[in-house]
Amino acid sequence: MTQLALVIDLNVCVGCHACVTSCKEWNTSGWAGPLTDHRPYDKDPTGTFFNRVQTFEVGEFPKTETVHFPKSCLHCEEPPCVPVCPTGASYKRKDNGVVLVDYDKCIGCKYCSWACPYGMRELDEYQKVMKKCTLCIDRIANDALPEVERKPACVLACPTSARLFGDVHDPDSEVSMAIREQGGYQLMPEWGTKPANHYLPRRKTRIQIFEDELERADNPLRKEAPLPAAEGETLDDVSF
């Protein structure tokens, strides 16, 4: 079975919102659209989005880190939003695991949004139906597009390649390898929803330097002083 998903690398994301705007652009004009806005150029603008980037500050100054956190439907393998839908408008596609809403069946009761612990579903205030990330189903399942373009709009737009897309059930896929090798994790694992989307954590590259490595006798950065010649050969003088 295929389970398409995104893997989002928090180590790489710079919080530019390119994924947000390209998502909105593609999806408002495509199959899932329109994604309506309310007061877009007025006070308190609001509207429907599939994807948002939030920003968190971790730690206290000066030991702080800014984490940009892209947030969209996680296409759970056990989606709690699907069984609660009274009409069957919410469904998980059998062939690729994408969670979708049939806008023609949705009655706008909002129950599915209550049943999503992540708050990934948004009611369109004009169309009065529930909307959510489709993983750009009209791109990824569109054979008319060249294969390189059969990816979600957010993935294609990301300037830092922080977003990977693929089948998380295929152990050899790019996303599975990234999860496996770079510590990919799921959000709120405590609810057993098994989110298909994974996040890659912040990773620090540090060099380890011990005191004696800095104190080498012939360290060129050392403060000038008479060489301790009397001590005889240092380790660095030995050559083979």
User: Binding residues for other proteins, per CB under 8 A?
Assistant: 17, 20, 39, 43-49, 52-60, 66-67, 69, 71, 80, 83-89, 105-111, 113-119, 121-123, 125, 127-129, 185-191, 199, 201-202
**Minimum distance between the CB of residue 128 and other proteins, rounded to whole angstroms?**
3
d(CA 165, CA 153) in angstroms, rounded, equals 11
3-state SS assignment for residue 46: strand
d(CA 81, CA 193) in angstroms, rounded, equals 10
**Minimum distance between the CB of residue 166 and other proteins, rounded to whole angstroms?**
20
**Minimum distance between the CB of residue 24 and other proteins, rounded to whole angstroms?**
12
- Which CB atom, from 45 or from 159, has the smaller least distance to other proteins? 45
- Which CB atom, from 139 or from 198, has the smaller least distance to other proteins? 198
> C-alpha dihedral over 14, 188, 73, 53, to 10 degrees?
-20
- Which CB atom, from 101 or from 140, has the smaller least distance to other proteins? 101
Q: Are 176 and 164 in contact (CB under 8 A)?
A: no
**Minimum distance between the CB of residue 182 and other proteins, rounded to whole angstroms?**
13
Phi, psi of 115 (to 5 degrees): -90, 10
Q: Are 78 and 194 in contact (CB under 8 A)?
A: yes
- Which CB atom, from 84 or from 177, has the smaller least distance to other proteins? 84
**Minimum distance between the CB of residue 78 and other proteins, rounded to whole angstroms?**
12
The verdict on whether omega for the bond into residue 34 sits within 30 degrees of 0, i.e. cis, is yes
Q: Is 97 left (phi over 0), alpha (psi -120 to 50) or beta?
A: left
- Which CB atom, from 31 or from 114, has the smaller least distance to other proteins? 114
- Which CB atom, from 2 or from 127, has the smaller least distance to other proteins? 127
Phi, psi of 180 (to 5 degrees): -70, -45
d(CA 14, CA 36) in angstroms, rounded, equals 27
Q: Are 52 and 71 in contact (CB under 8 A)?
A: yes
d(CA 145, CA 37) in angstroms, rounded, equals 29
**Minimum distance between the CB of residue 173 and other proteins, rounded to whole angstroms?**
21
- Which CB atom, from 116 or from 164, has the smaller least distance to other proteins? 116
**Minimum distance between the CB of residue 114 and other proteins, rounded to whole angstroms?**
6
